[in-house]
């Protein structure tokens, strides 16, 4: 039960959150996707709504149900996610928590690809739009605060710091998703928040607590901003 706090610190703020994976069809029965339960993005949307924000939640096919008290746009592909996120602007804040597939098929087969005796199929890829980079680099109407995620398996802080600079977002929430951390698909997360001020490592805590802390930090930044 995530009733919106009528007088919460994010009252009157519009926030767009992307969440979950995207699915990129290969043919009518197959797709490629990233691993993502959608748990962290969903928790963030819920925490923002609980602080009074008007939340537009753009979600790919996630394993967890979207939160109550937000406007939900369900999408499947990266291109649909981009269109839905841009259509939800203007907004005060955009948080790109989705695990967007970097590539789609150069051509989607209209009918099911069948096994044949003369060899294996070859897949050709095309690059998907980068939603976070596009919104971060908007020349007019850029949201005041744009937040991205960086799920890394190696050199987490260095990779995420470079990613923040490359994309032009304000904050990157970085985490180590190496096998063995139990973070992918689990209830907990250990994140490092990277901003202009540098890197701030948070202790490992539940995804719900990470979400609440991010929401509070956003409220503080908007208040100061």
Here the tokens at position 139 are 């020349």
Is 188 among the residues that bind Ca ion (CB under 5 A)? Answer: no
Q: In whole angstroms, how close is the CB of 105 to ligand CTP at the nearest point?
A: 15
Q: Which x/- pattern over 64-93 shows residues binding ligand CTP (rule: CB under 6 A)?
A: --------------x---------------
Q: Find the Cα–Cα–Cα–Cα dihedral 172, 177, 178, 183, rounded to 10°.
A: 150
Nearer to Ca ion, 71 or 159 (CB): 159
Positions 122 through 151 that interact with ligand CTP (CB under 6 A) = 128-132, 148-151
43 in helix, strand or coil?
Answer: helix
The stretch among 18-26, 96-104, 129-137, 169-177 that binds Ca ion (CB under 5 A) is 96-104
Among 27, 68, 76, 102, contact with Ca ion (rule: CB under 5 A): 102
Q: In whole angstroms, how close is the CB of 134 to ligand CTP at the nearest point?
A: 8
Nearer to ligand CTP, 4 or 176 (CB): 176
**Is 112 among the annotated ligand-binding positions?**
yes
Q: In whole angstroms, how close is the CB of 141 to ligand CTP at the nearest point?
A: 17
- For residue 65, the Cα-to-chain-centroid distance in whole angstroms is 15
34 is known as an active-site residue: yes
**Is 114 among the annotated ligand-binding positions?**
no
Burial category of 82 from C-beta neighbours within 10 Å (exposed 0-12, middle 13-18, buried 19 and up): buried
Instruction: Kindly give the residue spans of alpha helices, DSSP state H, lying in the chain.
Output: 39-50, 78-87, 131-136, 156-167, 207-224
- For residue 28, the Cα-to-chain-centroid distance in whole angstroms is 26
Asked if residues 100 and 128 have their Cβ atoms less than 8 Å apart, the reply is: yes
Q: In whole angstroms, how close is the CB of 151 to ligand CTP at the nearest point?
A: 6
Phi, psi of 127 (to 5 degrees): -80, 140
- Using the structure block, give the residue that is written with the tokens 């970097």: 102
Report the alpha-carbon distance of residue 55 to residue 13 in Å, rounded.
8
Q: Which x/- pattern over 162-181 shows residues binding ligand CTP (rule: CB under 6 A)?
A: -x------------------
Active site residues: 34
What residues make contact with ligand CTP under the rule CB under 6 A?
A: 18, 78, 96, 98, 100, 102, 128-132, 148-151, 163
């Amino acid at each position: 039960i995530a009733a919106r706090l009528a007088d919460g610190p994010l009252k009157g703020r519009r926030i767009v959150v992307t969440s979950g994976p995207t699915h990129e069809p290969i043919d009518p029965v197959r797709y490629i996707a990233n691993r993502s339960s959608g748990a962290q993005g969903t928790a963030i949307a819920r925490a923002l709504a609980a602080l009074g924000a008007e939340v537009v939640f753009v979600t790919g096919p996630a394993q967890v149900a979207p939160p109550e008290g937000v406007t939900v746009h369900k999408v499947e592909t990266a291109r649909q996610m981009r269109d839905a996120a841009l259509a939800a602007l203007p907004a005060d804040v955009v948080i790109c928590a989705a695990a967007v597939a970097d590539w789609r098929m150069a051509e989607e087969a209209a009918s099911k690809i069948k096994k044949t005796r003369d060899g294996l199929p070859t897949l050709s890829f095309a690059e998907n739009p980068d939603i976070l980079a596009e919104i971060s680099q908007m020349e007019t109407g850029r949201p005041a605060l744009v937040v991205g995620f960086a799920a890394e398996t190696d050199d987490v802080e260095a990779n995420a710091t470079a990613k923040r600079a490359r994309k032009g977002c304000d904050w990157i929430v970085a985490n180590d998703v190496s096998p063995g951390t139990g973070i992918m698909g689990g209830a907990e997360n250990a994140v490092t928040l990277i901003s202009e001020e540098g890197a701030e490592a948070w202790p490992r805590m539940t995804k719900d607590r990470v979400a609440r802390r991010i929401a509070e930090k956003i409220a503080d930044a908007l208040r100061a901003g």
